[in-house]
């Protein structure tokens, strides 16, 4: 009897491990899908983007840029701007650069994959796509702390960021991976806080346990946006 119980327990452990690995693999498979919508002059178009026959949707910003996750090769995007709607098949693209061509009352589009947009990672994924708690801190507020480094400045503004056993951690209830370090993205690219100058930062957004970044985001995400050259020059004056 005890031998049967032992075998059953062993099988249950194997099944649990299999399910856990499947969940992790599925979550980690999430990928960003970035897009941009402009007119023939290159000016960004604000629009609502809906993935047909799904609940995925977002909005483009003032530059026409937008981000989604987990877009399938055969998905179809519906681009809605004012009273006009464009239907654009993804057709296996990893990103999409759309030029909206209008002539009088009629319009068409030109769409192609963009390596530039692909390289921007999760930078365009909107906070509204995640239901997780988010906290934003401006660069001016960070610099006003008088801290010498970005890490110290964030810790002074956000007590939930701490060093535990020599590892930078966001205090979150979702820490299930072997590492409790948050995912750190600067202008869409994964990096380390120690490599970023406090004086280059425009804003920092902290998301606790973000599901929109897959398994990599379960310990939280720190999104950093840096100033462009013009903004940095104005700040230095």
pLDDT at 60 over 60: yes
According to the model, what pLDDT value does residue 230 have?
A: 60
From start to end of 172-233, where are the E strands?
183-186, 189-190, 201-207, 221-226
According to the model, what pLDDT value does residue 199 have?
A: 93
The residue written with tokens 């462009």 in the block is: 228
According to the model, what pLDDT value does residue 231 have?
A: 62
Sheet order of strands, 32-39 included: 65-69, 32-39, 95-103, 106-112
- Where is pLDDT greater, at 67 or 219? 67
* Direct distance between the N- and C-terminal alpha carbons of the chain, in angstroms, rounded to an integer: 81
pLDDT band at 56 (very low <50, low <70, confident <90, very high): confident
Which range is most confident: 16-20, 28-32, 124-128, 135-139?
A: 135-139
**pLDDT tens for residues 82-122?**
778 889 999 999 999 999 987 666 778 899 998 888 877 76
pLDDT band at 213 (very low <50, low <70, confident <90, very high): low
pLDDT band at 228 (very low <50, low <70, confident <90, very high): confident
According to the model, what pLDDT value does residue 129 have?
A: 47
pLDDT band at 48 (very low <50, low <70, confident <90, very high): confident
**pLDDT tens for residues 120-172?**
776 676 544 444 455 678 899 999 999 999 999 998 988 888 877 777 887 65
Cα–Cα–Cα angle for 107, 111, 116, rounded to 5 degrees: 135
76, 33 Cβ separation under 8 angstroms: no
For residues 188-216, give the mean pLDDT.
Answer: 81
For residues 24-29, give the mean pLDDT.
Answer: 42
- The burial of 143, by beta-carbon neighbours within 10 Å (0-12 exposed, 13-18 middle, 19 or more buried), is given as middle
Cα–Cα–Cα angle for 150, 156, 160, rounded to 5 degrees: 100
Domains contained in the chain, CATH given: 32-118 (2.60.40.1120), 130-236 (2.170.130.10)
According to the model, what pLDDT value does residue 70 have?
A: 84
% pLDDT > 70, the chain: 69
- Where is pLDDT greater, at 70 or 135? 70
CB atoms < 10 A from the CB of 146, how many?
Answer: 8
The residue written with tokens 């464009």 in the block is: 86
Q: What is the mean pLDDT of the chain?
A: 77
According to the model, what pLDDT value does residue 63 have?
A: 87
According to the model, what pLDDT value does residue 173 have?
A: 47
Residues contacting residue 225 through CB under 8 Å, at least 6 positions apart: 186, 187, 201, 202, 203, 204, 205
| Ranges of H-type helices in the chain | 2-28, 115-118, 139-144, 150-157, 229-236
According to the model, what pLDDT value does residue 116 have?
A: 83
220, 205 Cβ separation under 8 angstroms: no
């Amino acid at each position: 009897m005890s031998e049967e119980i032992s075998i059953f327990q062993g099988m249950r452990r194997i099944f649990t491990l299999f399910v856990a690995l499947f969940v992790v693999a599925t979550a980690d498979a999430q990928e960003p899908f970035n897009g941009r919508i402009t007119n023939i002059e290159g000016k960004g178009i604000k629009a609502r983007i809906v993935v047909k026959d799904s609940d995925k949707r977002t909005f483009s910003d003032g530059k026409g840029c937008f981000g989604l996750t987990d877009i399938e090769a055969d998905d179809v995007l519906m681009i809605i701007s004012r009273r006009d709607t464009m239907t654009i098949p993804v057709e296996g693209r990893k990103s999409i650069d759309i030029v909206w061509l209008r002539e009088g009352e009629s319009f068409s589009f030109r769409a192609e994959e963009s390596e530039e947009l692909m390289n921007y990672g999760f930078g365009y994924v909107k906070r509204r796509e995640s239901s997780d708690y988010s906290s934003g801190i401006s660069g001016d507020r960070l610099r006003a702390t008088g801290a010498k480094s970005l890490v110290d400045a964030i810790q002074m503004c956000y007590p939930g960021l701490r060093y535990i056993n020599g590892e930078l951690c966001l205090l979150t209830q979702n820490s299930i991976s072997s590492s409790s370090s948050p995912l750190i993205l600067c202008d869409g690219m994964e990096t380390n806080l120690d490599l970023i100058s406090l004086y280059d930062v425009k804003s920092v957004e902290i998301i606790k346990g973000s599901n929109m970044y897959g398994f990599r985001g379960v310990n939280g995400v720190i999104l950093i946006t840096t100033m462009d050259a013009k903004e940095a020059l104005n700040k230095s004056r």
